[in-house]
Structure 1
Amino acid sequence: MKTDVEISEETVLKPIAEIANQLGLDETLYDVYGKTKAKIDLSVSQREQRGKLVLVTSINPTPAGEGKTTTNIGLSMGLNRLGYPAISALREPSLGPCFGMKGGATGGGYAQVVPMDEINLHFTGDFHAITSAHNLLAAMIDNHIFHGNLLNIDQNRVVWNRVMDMNDRALRSLTINSKRIQHDTSFDITVASEIMAIVCLAEDMDDLKHRLASIVVAYDVEGEVITAHDLNAVGAMTLLLKDAMKPNLVQTNENTPAIIHGGPFANIAHGCNSIIATKTALALSDYVITEAGFGADLGAEKFYDIKCRIGNLKPDATVLVATIRALKYHGGQPLSELQYENLDALQEGIKNLVQHFDNLSKYQNNIIISINAFATDTESEIAMLMALEEELGCPVVLSNVFMEGGKGGEALAQAVVDMCEVADDFKPLYDSNQPLSTSIETIAKEIYRAQSVSYSEEAQEQIKTIEAMNPQGLPVCIAKTQYSFSDDPKKLNTPRNFNIHVKSVRLSQGAGFAVVLLGDIMTMPGLPKHPNAENMDYTDKVIGLK
């Protein structure tokens, strides 16, 4: 089979103006970025939302692959083939995993958003703008200290670090030791920046400014907060972000419209595309297929409990994606043997899928299970999964969008249309007005199935400080490994009788949540021994991009 890059390069793309006109946008409502990309005016997101909202999530990821983004794109194309106008609403890829181990985030096979090389690399510059705005604020903190420190910033309590959109473990811990400026700091990857979260959660430019102004960057010698507003940084940051706030319009390899905007990771951030992009899509189409990062224990939980809560959104259905290969891996079959039938491993691994289904059911949302097909799947393995339909009482649909594009997603598309007509009573898992520890323990026990939760002394003090500043309460954004329900990446499938350890808690006042770091999670990833970057090149075409 052809590579993803080859399929992308062979796609006959329509001019992006034609895609925009197809959505009913006149030329005053979008700005063209070359022939194949455009930015949509913010005013469109304020229109009446006519569409049905469908979330695509998955089981815990494995090296065998799950295909959540591929399913998302193929589903949107399948809906359009059946005559139901649909838009795929996705996150923007980060350069870090593109050059690292995971690869890009534009789907795969014959279910891609294109041009995949441009989207996976610099795209329209949104991540660069977010990186620049974040680092401008960091520079203004140190500049204020250098020029006399009139705000009496305690240099031991500067909590705003720097970011870059690349995996670089050497930058996890640094010390600034220059004239008048001495404090410890670090770099996070851009997708973990609070400004990334703010761009994705702001409703409009006024809301953006309000959230930027509320960012806590440090504490003074009396323990009072110092904000971006105090440093007069909000105007310049807004200027850098003015174009990055506009959602990006592209197309799939079957010319279905796709809106891609924002890109927080789900393992270290809130994992969803922007509220503005989602509401823009809901105003322009009958069905909006969005996604949340990594497994449902991270992405879906944060989509429901953070994005839907803040954006006043209600999903009409949720698609839970799994592959037979990944389930066998969770069931103990070695990666090198996943092409062989193993019903015992599959039966054991199905427990991971069922736990995700049970967790999603707690939100009282309509659920469809989608099996992302591989050529190595056997009839017996497929039959074992299809039997879950009767056991769980929800549709189980085989999808073959990787090989067949929209045609391979028609059955799933029809199941989604039918499910969106079923009434539900969606609600978040917890009340955000309660103490942070109560929300943390609700997620740990209800979603992860932890037996207990422990806190470091640092985390306990941080929670006290955050709760004193926010007596009305906050949602929590839990940062943990994506590979396991637990905070230990080696505990696959459905671990039990484990403890969740809260290492630290950070306040994201502008974003409107508290970030809770579990176990050994890092907000600045490292590169693997042999990163994807070693195999990339450009001659007259792109080589090695995944």
Structure 2
Amino acid sequence: MAEYKTDIEIARAAVKKPIYEIGDRLGIPAAQLSPYGHDKAKISAEFTTAQAGKPDGKLILVTAINPTPAGEGKTTTTVGLGDGLNRIGKKAVICVREPSLGPCFGVKGGAAGGGYAQVVPMEDINLHFTGDFHAITAAHNLLSAMIDNHIYWGNALDIDVRRVTWRRVMDMNDRALREIVASLGGISNGFPRESGFDITVASEVMAILCLASDLQDLEERLGNIIIGYRFDKTAVFARDLKADGAMAVLLKDAMQPNLVQTLENNPALVHGGPFANIAHGCNSVIATRTALKLADYVVTEAGFGADLGAEKFFDIKCRKAGLKPDAAVIVATVRALKMNGGVGKGDLGREDVGAVTRGCSNLGRHVANVRKFGVPVVVAINHFVSDTDAEVQAVKAYVAHLGAEAIVCRHWAEGSVGIEELAWKVVEMAESGDARFAPIYPDAMPLIEKIEEVAAQIYHASEVSVPKTVRDQLKVWEEQGYGHLPVCIAKTQYSFSTDPNLRGAPEGHVVSVREVRLSAGAGFVVVITGEIMTMPGLPKSPAAERIHLNEEGAIEGLF
């Protein structure tokens, strides 16, 4: 059997070009790049603003079936497709999110692609990168500090400390911080109150950075953040605390998209990183818009399965930014389809055509869902060496029955040459003009009905269970002028339902809403369902236990 290099070994052997050369391919002058070393740089606000009048390229979304421990390779396929489009002579740019440190040291590992379809420098991207997440964390916690400071010095805004909704954040999985009591230790430390931490990628500041169009829009959105309520139950905004200006200052550089390259020296913008199960799961609007002005094709991804990432990409990002996707790719693996068909992880190496066919119900649901948004779809079978011809043919036959096409992709092992067929198919779909994109619900629909629409149309639930307190809260927000906002449903990524163990394509289940949070700055209502957590915990054996520096000072064990 052939010996395969690890992702980090492949990335470390990459022959990278100076970042100025990558920028030059896109027409970005060296003076408009702020380099972070030789292989990554930020694109200036001046340059991105100057591109506004140029025509847009074609926008391609890469999404996937529901994730399993077997892995789907969505980011790997996104990177591979970008390389493949460049290989067949198209000017293409990849737009992906920045990874969070929490999952890197927890379960998921890195998120810069894999095999011979990666963005580099992989170690930097997966760790501190250009400091964007640290800036977001600092801006968020500055507001937290200013809230408690205002209360300490007399509380002129009459903030009800029982109704402070703004928590703190850190970019690490730490279950011990989910619920805390702050300001203990006596009079000099303030007034004790219950609070807690979320992970940085769940911060509204992260969502705001990813949805803001420029620095002025960023500061306005930051000012619109609701931090809590007064004793008369009226909202208190970040601008009331005069925090928005300083927060924008901390985020000034973080707003600039990051330019890096793939292993094949093609350009990639890696910027922003909201989770898709607890946030909207897409890279920044400013990076996507910039890429669309610089390339004929822009390949972007949306986190986790299409029920989360793609729905939020369409209903939140595209709606808010005025984007119109031209085609969508749904990534599936034979291994993951087997798991959806009832096979345990330890038995995935054995041929089981029946399990593949059963598991295809999950894939079929996602294909149908994406089509509801008016976007043409192709399925990418991310190939593993254990896949048999019979299993691959079963997937192809199932997808053909749906009136779509499934294409085997070998980009992980072969790079761009292994994904040419998919690249040509994407070009065919994007150039056909068949896309008729539209969100699945209108702005004017009441908030509760928006939740029910997503649950019925995308999750195939028979009922949404919403406590009276939540329904009353939604009505209050509608009365306050927030009824036009889209909903961002926080749900397990492992199932169409709110039960992570219910695989395949379940029907008739109940979606239980636990609480709702108004993200007035970001411009959506967060709907928390089931047991989803906005601060994850580390597993029994976290990835951090296997990450270390070797004798040469190089990183080992990172993905």
Q: 1:8 aligns with which of 3, 8, 11?
A: 11
1:471 Cα shift?
5.0
Aligned to 1:71: 77
Are 1:24 and 2:37 matched, yes or no?
no
1:461 Cα shift?
3.1
Are 1:140 and 2:146 matched, yes or no?
yes
* Correspondence 1:417-428 to 2 at 5 A: 417-423=427-433, 424-428=435-439
Are 1:319 and 2:344 matched, yes or no?
no
Are 1:86 and 2:89 matched, yes or no?
no
1:41 Cα shift?
1.5
Q: 1:452 aligns with which of 453, 463, 477?
A: 463
Q: 1:515 aligns with which of 501, 520, 526?
A: 526
Q: Conserved in 1, the CA contact under 8 Å of 2:63 and 2:305?
A: yes
1:212 Cα shift?
0.4
Aligned to 1:475: 486
Give the total of aligned pairs.
546
Aligned to 2:358: 348
Are 1:174 and 2:187 matched, yes or no?
no
1:542 Cα shift?
0.7
1:467 Cα shift?
1.7
Q: TM-score, normalised by structure 1?
A: 0.99
* Cα separation, 2, equivalents of 1:99 and 1:472: 39
Deviations 1:421-478 (A, max 9, x none): 1222110011122111100000001100001011124322321232222255210000
* Correspondence 1:247-258 to 2 at 5 A: 247-258=257-268
Are 1:196 and 2:206 matched, yes or no?
yes
Q: Conserved in 1, the CA contact under 8 Å of 2:518 and 2:525?
A: yes
Aligned to 1:371: 381
Are 1:541 and 2:554 matched, yes or no?
yes
Describe the SS at the equivalent of 1:308: helix
Are 1:501 and 2:512 matched, yes or no?
yes
* Correspondence 1:366-445 to 2 at 5 A: 366-423=376-433, 424-445=435-456
Unaligned runs of 5+ in 1: none
Describe the SS at the equivalent of 2:130: coil
Describe the SS at the equivalent of 2:290: helix
Q: 1:130 aligns with which of 106, 112, 136?
A: 136
* Cα separation, 2, equivalents of 1:411 and 1:443: 33
Are 1:261 and 2:271 matched, yes or no?
yes
Q: 1:62 aligns with which of 56, 65, 68?
A: 68
Aligned to 1:35: 38
* Cα separation, 1, equivalents of 2:462 and 2:496: 12
Unaligned runs of 5+ in 2: none
1:389 Cα shift?
4.5
Aligned to 2:503: 492
Q: Conserved in 2, the CA contact under 8 Å of 1:319 and 1:369?
A: yes
Are 1:120 and 2:131 matched, yes or no?
no
* One-letter code aligned to 1:526: G
* One-letter code aligned to 2:97: R
Which of structure 1's runs of 4+ aligned residues deviate more than 3 A? Answer: 43-46
* Correspondence 1:186-335 to 2 at 5 A: 186-335=196-345
Structure 1 vs Structure 2: percent identity of aligned residues? 55
Aligned to 1:461: 472
* One-letter code aligned to 1:501: S
Describe the SS at the equivalent of 2:254: coil
* One-letter code aligned to 2:441: Y
* One-letter code aligned to 2:367: F
Relative to structure 1, the CA distance from residue 365 to residue 53 in structure 2 (aligned partners, 3 Å threshold; closer, same or farther) is same
* Cα separation, 2, equivalents of 1:106 and 1:385: 27
**Bigger mean CA deviation after superposition, 88-97 or 46-55:** 46-55
Q: Conserved in 2, the CA contact under 8 Å of 1:508 and 1:514?
A: yes
1:388 Cα shift?
3.2
1:50 Cα shift?
2.8
Q: TM-score, normalised by structure 2?
A: 0.96
Deviations 1:369-410 (A, max 9, x none): 111001011111111111234312222211111000111111
Q: Conserved in 2, the CA contact under 8 Å of 1:52 and 1:287?
A: yes
Describe the SS at the equivalent of 1:250: strand
1:30 Cα shift?
1.3
Q: CA RMSD in A?
A: 1.0
